[in-house]
Structure 1
Amino acid sequence: MASFQKYETKDGIRWMYKYYGEIDPRNGKKKQSTKRGFKTKKEAQLDAAKTEQELANGTFISEDKTLTFQQLYEQWYSTVSSTYKPSTKKAVQHKFNKRILPHFGNLKVKDISKAYCQDVLNKLAKEIKSVDNMRMYANQVFEYGVRMEIISKNPLKGTIIPKLEEDFLADKKDEERNYWEKNEIKKFLALVKQECSLRDYTMFHLMIYTGGRKGEILALRWSDIDMKNKTINFSKTLFQENGEFIALTSKTAASRRSISLDASTVDVLKKLRREAASEPLVSFELPGNHLVFSRQDGTPLRLAYPNDRLDAIIKQHAFHPINIHGLRHTHASLLFEAGASIKEVQERLGHSDIKMTMNIYTHVTKAVKEKTAERFEKFMEL
């Protein structure tokens, strides 16, 4: 049975109650606890009745009032990180350290309210486009606390991802276009072929003509390419940490795929293979486990190398600015322009979720949109 008592604060009279909750494992006796801050005795009595009912039902959770979000995060991470690949661990830690912990880390979990969580989401939405991803990770920490009966509720539950005004605009600025159109691709490849090494030209050619991810391209070995049957097998991705390189298995089954190559891409690869075979440190019978793209000593290229080369070329020759992932979007856009179906593009790019492919489809080139209008016009003329 709870006992009630009033006390004075700078804000006036408040009520508290004492109750006997969980059993202390050290002596086998129930621990006495106190809940404070009620404005009236009636409020305290109602809360006490709820607490006693939860104790009777075995659903009561006695929260650690000193637990911070940082501590809860560390418990969660130590539990789930064993299921992560090194690349995923690095990405998750970066997201928490840069975006989530600055807002939540030092706060006591019991003090984190739904209103505060919504305020954080509103601020993040103005800073980054991936606010839904940040919310997903923070939510996992809170849900872990609830499942482990460390906290009684998840304050993120019911919060909303805000939409900014520009999300509702029909037209996006051209500067936001993260892909190249066919004429831009031809100009870029012609320039790279003239000014860059055969290795770099082949690397960019392969990204544009296969839609392969940067890590997939840099992890390729000659055994992954079948020149005779004109196929390439993407099953690994290159990961770099502390100066060391690791070839990791692709994250999803959809990412592990074999796709067809066009004749021009096969010819470019054959030229690179002949050049690699002529290097003094490499035998003519090139082993299949040699990297397709490597430094002179056979070690992998830096993961940032394609980004650096692309940025330099764009800046020097005033190309429309895109990032390295934009070459993958470019491949998808050209496939759509050539008449490929959404399902075909999904399989070629290795998307596990067709929503990823649909997001690219909404940003297809002007030529595709014009062809759609032309098809409608011809249909109406029939």
Structure 2
Amino acid sequence: MATFKQYEKKNGSKAWQFQAYLGSDPITGKPIKTTRRNFKTKKEAQLALSRLQVDFNNQNNQLNTQSITFKQLYDLWLEQYRLKVKPSTVATARRFIEDYCLQYFGNLQVRKISVPYCQKIVNKWHSEYKQYHYFRKVVGQVLQFGIQMELIESNPMRKTLLPRRKEVETFPNFYTKQQLESFFACLNEHIEASGRTSTKLLTFFRLLAFTGMRKSEALSLQWKDIDFIKKRVTIGKTLALDENKTIIIQEPKTKNSQRIITLDKITLKILKEWRINQKKWYLNFGYNTSSPNQFLFTNKFNELYYPQAPNDWLYHILEKYDLPKITLHGFRHTHASLLFESGASIKEVQERLGHKDVKTTMNIYAHVTPEKIEETGERFANYVNF
């Protein structure tokens, strides 16, 4: 189907153009449309379309699954991937593949991608990026999909050798009890010095440090999730960005992430103060935040925060008071570490943090504070007593 139209050019002369549907891509099935302009007569435009259609048909007759490129296979894989994972997972996969992988594989025919070439690219990634193992994984997933679609017979990426991870000096991403106390002292000083009446930041960091919840879980909290009578908070959702960088609320990381966490008295007191404070503070901006569906943490327009916002809050506090480096996830490690110090069992910590695999909990246990490690040796010696 085609439409022909006469139009006026900038110099005032007349010309013809057409818009046409040529057919569908033999691999992806997507429609192929085209627009051509600057023909002197309608007949000239019709003749050009006829030639274009013949060329397109000839190319399609020659094209088959033997010539599918990695980019075409990736597009097919992405359609299926969207059906089985969360939007935020799709966004991550797209970012890694499109930013780091397509430049090496996009235009290559998948049947011509060799193991030596894949190994060369894996080695290059290893020399430049910490996430090299993930790049290898997602490219391998796309090629494995090609096997399932019977487009290729083997997966060259899965035959590559994964280089050893580089030894990098890391900082201890958790606070001791004393460091955590210092952090909150500085945070309170910052809030008072800024002249703000809002206790939003105090509430946010208190929840992270005293419940071990993830940043994405805290940002998705609504007041209906807080039970002031039973003194607990229900974790059942997370905040994330989809592939269009739109804020979404989605299911948590795993089924184990859906959990109920008990709250201490001081955290409950801070939450109650923020509940009252929020209503007054946002009323000044013209927003009624009395609904149980109201989110705990929103910007001055009562809109959800982008995930990066709390990172900026933390960075500002650490820089201002020259505090030891820690990430937002480090408060989760801090909570787990101090739980172990207080005598909590591995099972209790696993359930409170919502870890699917006890190995994750054990990894944190292996990084408890130095004071606790020293105590372990003393306890053993005292018990053996010789």
TM-score, structure 1 as length reference? 0.75
Q: Which deviates more, 317-326 or 303-312? A: 317-326
| Deviation of the 1:186 alpha carbon | 0.5
- Contact 2:91–2:241, Cα closer than 8 Å, also in 1: no
- Contact 2:81–2:90, Cα closer than 8 Å, also in 1: no
Letter of the 1:258 counterpart:
I
Q: Residue 100 of structure 2 aligns with which residue? A: 99
Q: Residue 291 of structure 2 aligns with which residue? A: 287
Q: Deviation digits for residues 8-53 of structure 1, max 9, x if unmatched? A: xxxxxxxxxxxxxxxxxxxxxxxxxxxxxxxxxxxxxxxxxxxxxx
TM-score, structure 2 as length reference? 0.75
Q: Residue 199 of structure 1 aligns with which residue? A: 200
| Deviation of the 1:340 alpha carbon | 2.1
Q: Deviation digits for residues 41-92 of structure 1, max 9, x if unmatched? A: xxxxxxxxxxxxxxxxxxxxxx944322222111111122123332122111
Is the alpha carbon distance of 1:227 and 1:317 closer, same or farther for their aligned partners in structure 2, counting shifts above 3 Å?
same
- Contact 2:174–2:331, Cα closer than 8 Å, also in 1: yes
State how 1:312-351 maps to structure 2 within 5 Å: 312-351=316-355
| Deviation of the 1:328 alpha carbon | 1.6
| Deviation of the 1:288 alpha carbon | 1.0
Structure 2 CA distance, aligned partners of 1:119 and 1:361?
Answer: 38
Q: Deviation digits for residues 254-295 of structure 1, max 9, x if unmatched? A: 1111111111111111111121233434669x3211111122
| Deviation of the 1:125 alpha carbon | 3.0
Q: Residue 209 of structure 1 aligns with which residue? A: 210
Q: Residue 369 of structure 2 aligns with which residue? A: 365
Letter of the 1:157 counterpart:
R
Structure 1 CA distance, aligned partners of 2:315 and 2:280?
Answer: 30
Is the alpha carbon distance of 1:297 and 1:157 closer, same or farther for their aligned partners in structure 2, counting shifts above 3 Å?
closer
Q: Residue 307 of structure 1 aligns with which residue? A: 311
Is the alpha carbon distance of 1:142 and 1:293 closer, same or farther for their aligned partners in structure 2, counting shifts above 3 Å?
same
Letter of the 2:173 counterpart:
N
Question: Matched residue of 1:180: which SS?
Answer: coil
- Contact 1:314–1:320, Cα closer than 8 Å, also in 2: yes
| Deviation of the 1:247 alpha carbon | 1.7
Letter of the 2:379 counterpart:
R
Is the alpha carbon distance of 1:136 and 1:342 closer, same or farther for their aligned partners in structure 2, counting shifts above 3 Å?
farther
- Contact 2:87–2:241, Cα closer than 8 Å, also in 1: no
Question: Matched residue of 1:193: which SS?
Answer: helix
Question: Matched residue of 1:247: which SS?
Answer: strand
Q: Residue 245 of structure 1 aligns with which residue? A: 247
Q: What is the aligned counterpart of 1:266 among 265, 268, 279?
A: 268
| Deviation of the 1:322 alpha carbon | 2.0
Q: What is the aligned counterpart of 2:183 among 179, 188, 194?
A: 188
Question: Matched residue of 1:83: which SS?
Answer: coil
Is the alpha carbon distance of 1:182 and 1:165 closer, same or farther for their aligned partners in structure 2, counting shifts above 3 Å?
same
State how 1:1-382 maps to structure 2 within 5 Å: 64-164=65-165, 166=167, 173=169, 175-196=170-191, 197-240=198-241, 244-279=246-281, 280=283, 281=286, 286-381=290-385
- Contact 1:337–1:367, Cα closer than 8 Å, also in 2: no
| Deviation of the 1:230 alpha carbon | 1.1
Letter of the 1:199 counterpart:
K
Q: Deviation digits for residues 216-244 of structure 1, max 9, x if unmatched? A: 10110111011111110111111345675
Structure 1 CA distance, aligned partners of 2:146 and 2:367?
Answer: 40
Q: Deviation digits for residues 148-183 of structure 1, max 9, x if unmatched? A: 1100111123333221462xxxxx74x522222211
Question: Matched residue of 2:230: which SS?
Answer: coil
Structure 2 CA distance, aligned partners of 1:250 and 1:112?
Answer: 37
Structure 2 CA distance, aligned partners of 1:136 and 1:165?
Answer: 18
Structure 2 CA distance, aligned partners of 1:114 and 1:356?
Answer: 33
Question: Matched residue of 2:250: which SS?
Answer: strand
| Deviation of the 1:135 alpha carbon | 2.6
Structure 2 CA distance, aligned partners of 1:322 and 1:86?
Answer: 28
**Count of paired positions:** 313
- Contact 1:126–1:164, Cα closer than 8 Å, also in 2: no
